[in-house]
Amino acid sequence: MANEGSDLVKEVVQRVATYLSTPEEEKEPERERKRSRRLPWYTQMFGMLPMGMHLWWLHRRRNKPHAPGS
């Protein structure tokens, strides 16, 4: 059990040291790549419900009967 804890600490220290020693120019493309893969906040918070409502609203507006003479 104690060995697992020390392995975890070693891994964390190694990752922190690698992160701190990496220049900022190399970190920026990785950040941009992660940002581009991220889902929009409304999808993260509410799942597919906002997209479904959006599609329903678009469909509803397209099929809405128009008033005569307009």
Task: For residue range 3-50, list pLDDT tens digits in order.
Answer: 788 899 999 999 999 989 989 888 898 889 988 888 888 778 888 888
CA 64 – CA 70 distance, rounded (Å): 13
Q: Where does 1-70 have alpha helices with state H?
A: 2-21, 24-37, 41-46, 49-62
For the question of whether the overall pTM of this predicted structure is more than 0.85, the answer is no
Q: What angle do CA 39, 43, 47 make, to 5 degrees?
A: 130
pLDDT value for 18: 92
